[in-house]
Amino acid sequence: MQKVLQELLDLQNLDAQLREVRDLLSTFPKKLAEVEARAAGAKAEVDGSKAAQVETIRERKKYELDVEQWKERVRKYKDQSAQVKTNEAYKALQHEVQTAETEIAKAEDRLLEQMVAAEEYDRRVKASEKLLKEVEEVARGARAKIESDRGTLEKELAALIAKRSQLVSGVPENLLDHYERIAKKHNGVALAEVRDEKCTACGMRVRPHVFQEMRRRGSDEMFHCETCTRILYYVEPESSASIPASTGHNHSAAVPGRE
Ligand SMILES: [Zn+2]
């Protein structure tokens, strides 16, 4: 294969590796965001259960106060009962006492409900705190792994970039432009191998005289697929010998930089 084609092929392989590394690197922000979202979710669960716990404590205090206030009224009505003069007034006070006692019973029921609920919230708080600890532990590991993988890939990327700039320094600028223009059109694949006298990228048959010229030792022409415009290269099988050098071919489609 021509030296220049080999260089372009090396460049194409390098560009494929670069794309792969860059694609991988581009997935890291999303991976990190997923880790943070899981940790934030677990934290929100703890906050939510703690808020519910605080709310039950607040309500319990309110019902405790209700009980106290109704008990205070009962005491007051009973004191008053001892001093009333009429039967009606006494009955009215007795009725007030009954009402207050009903309210005490209701408040005590609510209080009991709140205490049962509080136990449930205590359990929820403990469970969510335990889960948060586990999630944070996992998140720490995941973050470290992501950062370490990212570091490795960034080093790899820097090495590939250095290797690429070294490689392209040996390639004429117009040829490099030509390569990049074709690569851009074809998902980074500017060169296509010819196998069975066909372009392996699009399947188009290569004209016999072109194929013959490609195989000629010492040929320095560059050929393009007539259909997909990719730069063609041919790797001579180990066993078959190259066609001896000959002259007289002139292919207009072979000038780099012209498509
Ligand atoms: Zn083709």
Cα–Cα–Cα angle for 62, 67, 73, nearest 5°? 125
| Residue 190 Cα to ligand 1 middle (Å) | 10
Domain boundary among 168, 192, 223: 168
Determine, yes or no, domain membership for 259.
Answer: no
Residues 158 and 181 in one domain: no
Assign residue 53 the CATH number of its domain: 1.10.287.1490
Residues 201 and 146 in one domain: no
Overall number of domains in the chain: 2
| Residue 127 Cα to ligand 1 middle (Å) | 63
Q: Which domain holds residue 222?
A: 173-254
pLDDT value for 256: 46
pLDDT value for 243: 56
| Residue 194 Cα to ligand 1 middle (Å) | 9
Residues comprising the chain, all counted: 259
Residues 189 and 162 in one domain: no
pLDDT value for 136: 97
| Residue 229 Cα to ligand 1 middle (Å) | 6
Residues 105 and 203 in one domain: no
Determine, yes or no, domain membership for 5.
Answer: no
Determine, yes or no, domain membership for 4.
Answer: no
| Residue 182 Cα to ligand 1 middle (Å) | 12
Cα–Cα–Cα angle for 148, 150, 155, nearest 5°? 100
Residues 20 and 121 in one domain: yes
Residues 117 and 217 in one domain: no
Amino acid at 145: K
The Cα 167–Cα 176 span in angstroms is 11
pLDDT value for 240: 57
Distances (CA, A) of 157 to 19, 20, 187, 199: 10, 10, 19, 31
Determine, yes or no, domain membership for 1.
Answer: no
| Residue 57 Cα to ligand 1 middle (Å) | 76
pLDDT value for 216: 87
| Residue 192 Cα to ligand 1 middle (Å) | 7
Domain boundary among 139, 168, 197: 168
pLDDT tens, per residue, the chain with 259 residues? 788 999 999 999 999 999 999 999 999 999 999 999 999 999 999 999 999 999 999 999 999 999 999 999 999 999 999 898 999 999 999 999 999 999 999 999 999 998 898 899 999 999 999 999 999 999 999 999 999 999 999 999 999 999 999 999 989 999 999 999 999 999 999 999 999 999 999 999 999 999 999 998 888 889 999 999 999 999 988 765 555 555 444 444 444 444 3
pLDDT value for 249: 46
pLDDT value for 1: 78
Determine, yes or no, domain membership for 16.
Answer: yes
Residues 115 and 190 in one domain: no
| Residue 98 Cα to ligand 1 middle (Å) | 98
Domain boundary among 146, 168, 190: 168
Residues 105 and 182 in one domain: no
